[in-house]
Structure 1
Amino acid sequence: MARPRNFEEDTVLAQAAQLFAGLGYNGASIDDLLTATGLQRGSLYKAFGSKRNLFEKVLAAALAPGWTDRPAAVDLLIVALKELASEDAPIAALCRQAILESGTDTAQLLGARLLAHLD
């Protein structure tokens, strides 16, 4: 009999989102994720399967309607575009869908956010 989860998935996704937005996908190690979320290694892998699967769930949640009004969501989209989309079709599809559904100002929004990180 499987043990019930001792964590709220939405809370873990929010904690992981903050880490990925700050460090990037490649910069965030599994140990960083364990520290940020408070999960044990086995729990993280059982719940999400891999770091990549966790990132996909984080990205999908971040790109919910209204994402353009949330700077952290824009940061996650930038991370996905820079680090994963060119070689990961499902991540690329999430990015493409979000951009297409967001309207015509997306390029300006992404550019402004990138420039904000230079300060």
Structure 2
Amino acid sequence: MGRPRGFDEAEVIRSAVELFACRSYDGISIDDLVTHLGVHRNSLYKTFGSKRGLYLAALRRALEHDVAPLVERMAKTAGPAEALREGLAARGPGLDLLVLATVERAPEDTEVAEIVNRTLGSIDRAAAGGTGAGQEISTALTALLLGLRIRARSAAPGEPDAGRAGETIVRRLLQH
């Protein structure tokens, strides 16, 4: 009989979400994970199999606990501008990890690509709010939301709020 696990797996995954969302997959070493998560290397490998295994668990958790509830809220809005506002107000590391997974891991990892594309499709459908706007508009709104999320991550203190700019853009696009 093996020793009982000395850590809370759910808490380790939650902490890994924050770490991967902040520094990306390639920006984190196994040593970083061991140090930050407080889990012994052997325990990490035994539980998750690899860094990639922990990453996939973290990505799934972020999408389930941060992004899926956001998608539900966006889908219940009155229209695209309100859906975008809801998306821009989102807190938590979920969208940040989704952005990083999209640009960093999806091109190299087919499993991550499938997860990302499924999630982006959900956001596309929700981005129209309750209006049933066309696929092109929904896809553009998703791209705008994620692009503004990237801008917000890199904004210096005192820079204009990317969210306000996004709402203005959506209103103008929908008027034409």
Calculate the TM-score normalised by the size of structure 1. 0.92
**Alignment-mate amino acid for residue 15 of structure 1:** S
Q: Which 10-residue stretch deviates more, 86-95 or 68-77?
A: 68-77
Does 2:149 align with 1:113?
A: yes
Higher share in helix:
2
Structure 1 runs (4+) deviating above 6 angstroms are none
**Alignment-mate amino acid for residue 100 of structure 1:** G
**Structure 1 residue aligned with 2:24:** 24
**Alignment-mate amino acid for residue 43 of structure 1:** S
**Structure 2 residue aligned with 1:99:** 120
Q: Secondary structure at the match of 2:26?
A: coil
**Structure 1 residue aligned with 2:161:** none
Q: Which has the larger radius of gyration?
A: 2
Distance, in Å, in 2 between the alignment partners of 1:93 and 1:15 is 23
**Structure 2 residue aligned with 1:86:** 107
Aligned partner of 1:74 among 77, 92, 95: 95
> Which blocks of at least 5 consecutive residues in structure 1 are unaligned?
none
Distance, in Å, in 2 between the alignment partners of 1:70 and 1:61 is 15
**Alignment-mate amino acid for residue 18 of structure 1:** E
Deviations 1:35-66 (A, max 9, x none): 11100000000000111111111000100122
Aligned-pair identity in percent equals 43
Q: Which 10-residue stretch deviates more, 67-76 or 85-94?
A: 67-76
CA RMSD across the alignment: 1.4
Cα displacement (A) at 1:2: 2.0
> Which blocks of at least 5 consecutive residues in structure 2 are unaligned?
71-86, 127-137, 156-176
| C-alpha spacing 1:110/1:71, structure 2 compared with 1 (3 Å) | farther
Cα displacement (A) at 1:71: 4.1
The correspondence of residues 2-41 of structure 1 with structure 2, limited to 5 A, is 2-41=2-41
Q: Which 10-residue stretch deviates more, 70-79 or 100-109?
A: 100-109
Distance, in Å, in 2 between the alignment partners of 1:9 and 1:98 is 24
Cα displacement (A) at 1:15: 1.0
Count residues with an aligned counterpart.
119
Instruction: Report if the CA contact (8 A) 2:17-2:61 is conserved.
Output: no
Calculate the TM-score normalised by the size of structure 2. 0.64
